[in-house]
Amino acid sequence: MKRVAYPQMGNLGISVKSFLWELGAEPIEPSPISKRTMDLGVQNAPEFACLPLKVNLGNHLESIEKGAEYLLMAGGIGPCRFGYYGEVQREILQDLQKDAEMIVIEPNIFSIYWSFNYLHGGFVSPLRLYRILKFAMKKMKAIDDLERITQYLRPRAKKPQQVNLRYQKYLKLLDQAASEDRIKELKAEGIERLQELNNPEVKDVVHVGIVGEIYQVLEPYVSLNIEEKLGEMGVQVHRELFLSHWVMDHILKRVDRSSYINAATPYLGAMIGGHGQETVGQAVLYAREGLDGVIQLAPFTCMPEIVAESILPVVSEREQIPILSLFFDEHSGEAGVQTRIEAFVDLIKRRSERSVLA
């Protein structure tokens, strides 16, 4: 069996792990991102690359220590630098004389099919692959559904930390789930157990939409657990970016993008790479849906998000919605983020008090 490692991004690992098992490879779980992961990545990566390159390089290095022989990495077709990170990491690891083979999965069916056959070490029938993928996808969806409920409940529970604990517990159980029935059962049970924490007395919940670059949005470590922090301040977080949504959109091409493209067009009429146009379009949509504010999350030096950032003030003015942009790198401090989001939530609360009085 090939010993295969994969980088850490939110809850992606749970689905990838069960996918690899089913495929007949041995998954090497990445160590949870820590200061050490960051340090390893930052030391060996070019300084002006964005966080995903550094963090994932750190993941690879730690996984090699744990005995990984193969490293999975996502590719891309730009115009965002991320698509090239797999190749850059391959070169860096070669320079470091690390003995592991990098497998870059490009977002097209052939590359995916070829890579999976290679990992399996022989021919996998398309039908079998379909079944395996369907199973992994079920897990991914169940996790995303639980996460949405967690976002809803954090501001509405007596103790938001309790919600986080229960959510983590069901993530662990889903990680071990080995059949579709078990996933279904766990999802229903998890939703019920989370709902128990709902406190119907909580009334004034603030609604904030999260937009931005996918890695920054999905990996809580690099954005300093911003969703948990907002939840504790009485904010319900909304976002469109979920792993299952991304797979449906980019791999299975099943998502209708017209709504956000239409919304973005008066402000940004072209696809500029990454999630730049989605960020602008989604901010407009959130304003029209009546959310109280929007927060943009992006890694420092991210080109598409920088373009979006300079457009968002116009969106904020015309669509009448407060927008906060936060950029992160390895130097980002907890205190700075806390101060900004606290001030942002204050801004929203005082604004709505005023509109009630008027």
Partner 1 sequence: MRGYLGIDVGSVSTNIVFTNEQMEVLDSLYIRTQGRPIDAVQRGMAQMYDKDGDLQILGVGTTGSGRHLIGAMVGADCIKNEITAHAVAASHLNPEVRTVLEIGGQDSKIILLRQGIVVDFAMNTVCAAGTGSFLDQQASRLGIPIEKFGELALQSQNPVRIAGRCSVFAESDMIHKQQMGHNTSDIIAGLCAALVRNYLNNVGKGKNIQEPVTFQGGVAANVGIRQAFEDALKVQVIVPEHYNVMGAIGCALLAREEVHNGEKSSKFKGFEMLDMEFQASSFECDGCPNHCEVINFKQNGKLIARWGARCPRWEVG
Look at phi and psi of residue 256 and say left if phi exceeds 0, alpha if psi is from -120 to 50, else beta.
Answer: beta
Pairing of strands 3-5, 26-28: parallel
- Which of residues 168 and 199 has its CB atom nearest to partner 1 in the complex? 168
Residue 92 · residue 44 · CB < 8 Å: yes
Q: Which two tokens stand for residue 146?
A: 């639980």
Those residues whose C-beta lies under 8 Å from the C-beta of residue 177, and which sit 6 or more positions away, are 18, 139, 183, 186
Output 161 or 262, the one with its CB closest to partner 1: 161
The residue among 93 and 157 lying less far from partner 1, judged by its C-beta, is: 157
Quick check: 65 binds partner 1 (CB under 8 A)?
no
Of residues 22 through 41, those in contact with partner 1 by CB under 8 A are 31-32, 34
Tell me the C-alpha distance between 130 and 132, whole Å: 6
Residues 279-318 interacting with partner 1 (rule: CB under 8 A): 300, 310, 313, 316-317
Residue 356 sits in the site that holds partner 1 (CB under 8 A): no
Residue 293 near residue 324, CB atoms below 8 Å? yes
CB 54 → partner 1: shortest distance, Å?
15
Residues 6+ apart with CB under 8 A from 176: none
Map the footprint of partner 1 across residues 324-353, applying CB under 8 A: 327, 329, 331, 335-336, 338-340, 342-344, 346-347, 350-351
Q: Is 165 in the site for partner 1 (CB under 8 A)?
A: yes
CB of 115 to partner 1, least distance (A): 28
Nearer to partner 1, 138 or 229 (CB): 229
Token reading at 356? 């009630």
User: What gap in Å lies between CA 298 and CA 280, rounded to an integer?
Assistant: 13
**Least separation in angstroms between CB 324 and partner 1:** 8
Of residues 100-159, those binding partner 1 (CB under 8 A): 159
Beta carbon of residue 45, minimum distance to partner 1 (angstroms, whole number): 17
Residue 161 binding partner 1, by CB under 8 A: yes
Could you give the 3-state DSSP secondary structure of residue 324?
A: strand
Q: Which of residues 216-245 bind partner 1 (CB under 8 A)?
A: 225, 228
Listed ranges 16-24, 70-78, 261-269, 323-331: which one lies at the site for partner 1 (CB under 8 A) = 323-331
CB atoms within 10 A of CB 342: 13
Of the candidate residues 162, 244, 259, 265, the single one contacting partner 1 (CB under 8 A)? 162
Instruction: Considering the complex, state which of residue 79 and residue 336 has its C-beta at the smaller distance from partner 1.
Output: 336
Q: How far is the CB of 347 from partner 1 (least distance, A)?
A: 5
E strand segments, 233-312: 235-238, 293-299
**How does DSSP classify residue 270?**
S
Shortest Å distance, C-beta 187 to partner 1: 23
SS3 for 317?
helix
CA 37-42-46 angle, 5° bins: 145
3-state helix, strand, coil in the chain (%, to 5): 60, 10, 30
Beta carbon nearer to partner 1, 124 or 294:
294
82/344 with CB nearer partner 1: 344
Q: Which residues are at the interface with partner 1 (CB under 8 A)?
A: 31-32, 34, 159, 161-162, 164-165, 168, 225, 228, 300, 310, 313, 316-317, 322, 327, 329, 331, 335-336, 338-340, 342-344, 346-347, 350-351, 354
